[in-house]
Structure 1
């Protein structure tokens, strides 16, 4: 209990929690939309609550819901969720510098709770790619803010789904929120190219059944991003050798 009070009073923890408040409106809107979508997709209330608390990945949840509703094979559902979350493999490589010294259990627990926006806020606050004191506490502070900002609206969406008319256009509001969040991730040439490739692939394969065009778009985007990063590294090595 003493250690918890000390953490809550820590300036790095508080700064991390405060910095994530900038993203709270968009996250809350998307969480509400996801909660409503889960409840109206045919999932029971207990199963929807279990999904939001354990899966804790809005994009993977929304990619899985239409497949579950369509009766898609479980391997297709798993493949869609896996492809949607492939970006975290790249993110984990960036986190490694700052959390590689932690025990495996702590890394797994923190990694499970980290979201895309945690990395954006962290890189703004700690622009240097090196480990410094206070970084882990900053990360934990951001995790706490995002977790509550996502889960509370998501649970409201689940339990109040019948009281929220579809005429409100929450789906469109959630789409706008996700577009805003996505724009914040486009900070270099590789991510811009990956976004363009994903959009083109999704449109080109729109006719595929079970919304598999989403899986194709994600795979194409990840491949494009990795190829560009490798090309940039190779160019840097050539310049260094010269």
Structure 2
């Protein structure tokens, strides 16, 4: 039976994932607080965190639930926010697609922004990595992240409103995404997609139930795809000449 574990690579993944605790902890803590303030029990909050593991989608769903949005809108908005996971999965398939089903299923469960961002950068930097090394690094990154997500969600749910607002725990959300997305803006298509989606999110912020995020995501992806097509055509015409 082939081995899918490489100790040194796994430990390097753990080391690279450790800094994310600084943002995962307050992010999860804030979710636990907001969830209980929204009326969820500790058990419901922890089930939400353990099953979904997607902070942005969880916050979106909670906000819409507080606004008494229709269930269909809540689900659609959460799925739209999490649509990036489908793209993450497609991007990782060439690297982890040869794993047995149960390992791929566990990788899908633990696929979050942090594990994707660091793993793709590592795979690009070291294209000769074996399947065992790629798998070990991926799971190494998530090792310090996942337990802390559970732990701090539980703490937040238990302490609830006792955390003073002056701590401004919500700072973790934008900082996390800036830290992860910044290094990925390597091409004109990436930059164009990011710029258009941010602009649309602001312009359509007036739409009810956070529907502006859905519009921004769709327009941003369309922009990125069109810029890539334009770049490919330009490159092809230059090669032909």
TM-score interval for Structure 1 and Structure 2 normalised by the shorter chain: 0.7 to 0.9
Using a 3 Å threshold, how does the CA distance of structure 1 residues 241 and 138 change in structure 2: closer, same or farther?
farther
Are 2:129 and 1:132 equivalent residues in the alignment? yes
2: distance between equivalents of 1:96 and 1:7? 16
Match of 2:156 in 1: 157
CA drift of 1:172 comes to: 3.8
Are 2:80 and 1:53 equivalent residues in the alignment? no
Are 2:100 and 1:103 equivalent residues in the alignment? yes
- Find 2:65's aligned residue among 65, 68, 92: 68
2: distance between equivalents of 1:131 and 1:231? 31
Aligned partners of 1:40 and 1:161 also within 8 Å: yes
Aligned partners of 2:5 and 2:135 also within 8 Å: no
Aligned-residue Cα RMSD (Å) equals 2.5
CA drift of 1:185 comes to: 3.9
Match of 1:208 in 2: 207
Match of 1:26 in 2: 23
In the superposition, the TM-score normalised over structure 2's length comes to 0.86
Using a 3 Å threshold, how does the CA distance of structure 1 residues 112 and 50 change in structure 2: closer, same or farther?
same
Using a 3 Å threshold, how does the CA distance of structure 1 residues 96 and 183 change in structure 2: closer, same or farther?
same
CA drift of 1:85 comes to: 1.2
Match of 1:13 in 2: 10
- Find 2:37's aligned residue among 23, 37, 40: 40
1: distance between equivalents of 2:172 and 2:95? 35
* Number of positions where the alignment pairs a residue of Structure 1 with one of Structure 2: 237
Residue by residue over 1:135-181, the C-alpha shift from the partner in whole angstroms, topping out at 9 and shown as x without a partner, is: 11111111222212322222211111221122332224544444444
In the superposition, the TM-score normalised over structure 1's length comes to 0.85
* Unaligned ranges ≥5, structure 2: none
2: distance between equivalents of 1:157 and 1:174? 15
2: distance between equivalents of 1:117 and 1:173? 13
Q: Secondary structure at the match of 1:71?
A: coil
* Unaligned ranges ≥5, structure 1: 1-5
CA drift of 1:52 comes to: 0.6
Residue by residue over 1:112-146, the C-alpha shift from the partner in whole angstroms, topping out at 9 and shown as x without a partner, is: 21112222222333325856321111111112222
Using a 3 Å threshold, how does the CA distance of structure 1 residues 39 and 236 change in structure 2: closer, same or farther?
farther
